[in-house]
Chains A and B, each alone.
Chain A
Amino acid sequence: MTATHDAAPTGSATAGPQRGGAARRRAAAGRVPAALLVPAGLGLLFLVLPLVGLLARAPWTTLPQRLTAPGVLTALRLSVQTATLATLLCLLLGVPLAWLLARVEFPGRRLVRALVTVPLVLPPVVGGVALLLVFGRRGLLGGWLDDTFGVTLPFSTAGVVLAEAFVAMPFLIIAVEGALRGADRRYEEAAATLGAGRWTTFTHVTLPLVAPGVTAGAVLCWARALGEFGATITFAGNYPGRTQTMPLAVYLALETDLESAVVLSLILLTVSVGILAALRDRWVTGP
């Protein structure tokens, strides 16, 4: 924190009166105040240093063997698949819910909005237990699901998707609701005057208008689902190939071998950063 104190006066001094008028004006327009730059730099360091730590500890010489070790690719594939399915599930249920929260006045809306954020606050392990209490064998719905449809969710890949969706959905809902609130509703009125019904207006006007928000929410949602650990292991358990996602594999690797945990973490990071960067170029920075 001393850095903030010292840097502030220094930063403003460099932009001081010794420069020429025009140059100063130009500099002033693009100048970043030190009071922002310093904490921003510290923030970035704080986020990036742990990654540097992982890279520093990575066993580069044995990396190829470890990458091809049995189970690694299986866990990776399962992670990407379940995170993607969970994101789709969140989109399917979360976008309409966000719309409801943003657009429809109903009694208890504040309460519902607060409830939506519960998975953010709840420790994921508790979330997993809660899911078991609902969808488990003796859960509120689980028994009925099993008797009626023969569906058992715990210890299944579907269970992983469910657990990830539970934890990740708030990210999507909050982003989409914000986008919907920010969107100009008069476009929807314009669509109505052109003969578009509510559903057509939603799909042809509202959704495209909030597409950046939906994409941002989906990306956050996917990233959260990919890293999900607590709710997954509690609700879906840990079984290689079926419910063992990368975070679970990393955690168990940590029990025996720090280096292999580091490698698995790096793989997860590389894949997620790669996919998110690709998506960002293609979708987020669009129009």
Chain B
Amino acid sequence: MSATGRPVSATGQPVSATDQPEGATGRRAGPAPDSAARRPLLDAHLVADHRGFRLDVRLRIAAGEVVALLGPNGAGKSTALRALAGLHPLTAGHVTLDGVDLDRPDRRVFTPAERRRIGVVFQDHLLFPHLTARDNVAFGPRRHGLDRRAARARAEEWLDRVGLAGYARQRPRQLSGGQAQRVALARALAVDPTLLLLDEPLAALDARTRLATRTELHRHLTAHRHAALLVTHDPLDALVLADRLVIVEDGRVVQEGDAATVTARPRTDYVAHLVGLNLHRGRGDGHTVRVAPELTLTAADRVDGDAFVAFPPSAVALHRQRPDGSPRNTWPATIVGVQRHGDNLRIQLDGPVGVAADVTPAAAAQLRLVPGQLVWAAVKAAETRAYPAGPARPE
């Protein structure tokens, strides 16, 4: 929701980087993730079946890149993560990490979880309750051949790095949720995994802890040299923490790209809803797109054929009477819902297309906006993006 009404330039490209959420910009000094020519560290085509549900997702992650796998509950995100970790076998496709096949059913290759250089941070941390924080972190290094002393030394080093040096002897139940999740992060990173998987790492935390832990997580992900995949249903986590978003719905990738592209040009209702844009599909003809038999919207961009039109709720203005002077992009609508949305009110409109509009409480009072009220909606063409509804992936 944070992306609601984000300004978009006239060319449809995101405006200057300073307006982007912190995670999406200025991430690290290393090579930019857009160097698609490089061989990806992780190359996966995940085809897996789970209780009648089929996942079919392609994923590529370059070294130093953080990719967010974003999608609603039941979209297959967890299955994808489990397949990568080796906890769920693939039906077809492959998982190739650093040039080595870990799972490739057609060649009968399967590397079990314990022999993959893949670390996992689980949603509810899953720290071993019978071990101290230090021994939890030392668990991985011990399994990788370090003796007890060396493993503990490394564990203490990692606890220090996540700011929990004083908690080495605490057991998980003595830690707060945020602390436990940081220990879990240290535990996963202590074995220096080539790929780090994070499964909703912030979902179980309360709002305050979440903010602090997100910042902490951001710091460590930036420092992590290898690839990372963040599975989440929270767009804010994805936007802050990831370089690139891969959005899955119903087991398929519906859209992928960097944060700016995805937030500016959503391709499904789910993504539009996530980033807080009104999204409609129609047929483009120059600067106009017909989104309903009786409604044509004019956009700043030029597009022909199958096209999306997107505009933020803040770009929708409401009037009691048909506005004069601007015959384009106006239509009569009925108010079907009014909700608080931040400092404003979000008005749900029914009409030729369903649309959300944001108005100030003062304006709402003046216009006496109540459900059932008939109004005129108007959208400025300058704030309306139109783009082709072509293939979901820029390949």
Interface of A with B (CB < 8 Å)? 184, 186-187, 189-197, 200-201, 204-205, 208-209, 211, 287
26 of the cross-chain contacts (CB-CB < 8 Å) are A187-B126, A189-B85, A189-B87, A190-B128, A191-B128, A192-B112, A192-B113, A193-B86, A193-B87, A193-B116, A193-B120, A193-B188, A194-B114, A194-B143, A194-B187, A195-B115, A195-B143, A195-B144, A196-B114, A196-B139, A196-B143, A200-B143, A204-B139, A208-B130, A209-B128, A287-B171
Is B129 a contact of A193 with CB atoms below 8 Å?
no
B82 to A, closest residue via Cβ: A189
Is B140 a contact of A195 with CB atoms below 8 Å?
yes
Most buried by B among A191, A192, A287: A192
Total A-B pairs, Cβ < 8 A: 63
Q: CB-CB < 8 A to B116: which residues of A?
A: 193
Residue among A193, A200, A201, A208 making CB contact with B119, cutoff 8 Å: A193
Q: CB-CB < 8 A to B187: which residues of A?
A: 194
A194 to B141, CA, bound (A): 8
Is B86 a contact of A190 with CB atoms below 8 Å?
no
Is B122 positioned at the interface, with any CB of A under 8 Å from its CB? yes
Residue among B112, B171, B191 making CB contact with A194, cutoff 8 Å: B191
A286 to B, closest residue via Cβ: B130
Chain B 350-367 per-residue mask, 1 if CB under 8 angstroms from chain A, else 0? 000000000000000000
Q: CB-CB < 8 A to A209: which residues of B?
A: 128-130
Asked whether A187 and B128 contact (CB < 8 A) given A192-B87, A194-B140, the answer is: yes
Is B61 positioned at the interface, with any CB of A under 8 Å from its CB? no
A200 to B115, CA, bound (A): 13
Is A211 a contact of B114 with CB atoms below 8 Å?
no
Is B42 positioned at the interface, with any CB of A under 8 Å from its CB? no
Is A197 a contact of B114 with CB atoms below 8 Å?
yes
Q: CB-CB < 8 A to B113: which residues of A?
A: 189, 192-193
Residue among A186, A204, A208 making CB contact with B126, cutoff 8 Å: A186
Is B191 a contact of A195 with CB atoms below 8 Å?
yes
B contacts with A, residue count (CB < 8 A): 25
A201 to B113, CA, bound (A): 12
A187 to B126, CA, bound (A): 6
Closest 10 CB pairs of A and B: A195-B143, A192-B113, A194-B140, A208-B130, A193-B120, A190-B126, A192-B114, A196-B143, A195-B114, A189-B87
CB distance from A283 to the nearest CB of B (A): 13
Chain B 164-194 per-residue mask, 1 if CB under 8 angstroms from chain A, else 0? 0000000100000000000000011001000
A191 to B113, CA, bound (A): 9
Q: CB-CB < 8 A to B114: which residues of A?
A: 191-197, 201
A9 to B389, CA, bound (A): 73
Q: CB-CB < 8 A to A201: which residues of B?
A: 114
Is B118 positioned at the interface, with any CB of A under 8 Å from its CB? yes
Q: CB-CB < 8 A to B130: which residues of A?
A: 208-209, 211, 287
Is B86 a contact of A208 with CB atoms below 8 Å?
no
B117 to A, closest residue via Cβ: A195
A181 to B130, CA, bound (A): 18
Is B120 a contact of A190 with CB atoms below 8 Å?
yes
B173 to A, closest residue via Cβ: A287
Is A190 a contact of B191 with CB atoms below 8 Å?
no
A89 to B129, CA, bound (A): 28
Is A208 a contact of B118 with CB atoms below 8 Å?
no
Q: CB-CB < 8 A to A211: which residues of B?
A: 130
CB distance from B187 to the nearest CB of A (A): 7
A191 to B131, CA, bound (A): 12
Q: CB-CB < 8 A to A193: which residues of B?
A: 85-87, 113-114, 116, 118-120, 188
Q: CB-CB < 8 A to A287: which residues of B?
A: 129-130, 171
Q: CB-CB < 8 A to A187: which residues of B?
A: 126, 128
New A-B contacts (8) at CB < 8 Å, excluding given A186-B122, A192-B114, A196-B143: A189-B85, A195-B114, A195-B115, A196-B114, A196-B139, A208-B131, A211-B130, A287-B130
Q: CB-CB < 8 A to B140: which residues of A?
A: 194-195
Q: CB-CB < 8 A to A205: which residues of B?
A: 128
> Which residues of B in the span 107-150 have a Cβ within 8 Å of any Cβ on A?
112-116, 118-120, 122, 126, 128-131, 139-140, 143-144
CB distance from B276 to the nearest CB of A (A): 34
Q: CB-CB < 8 A to A197: which residues of B?
A: 114, 143
A169 to B2, CA, bound (A): 60
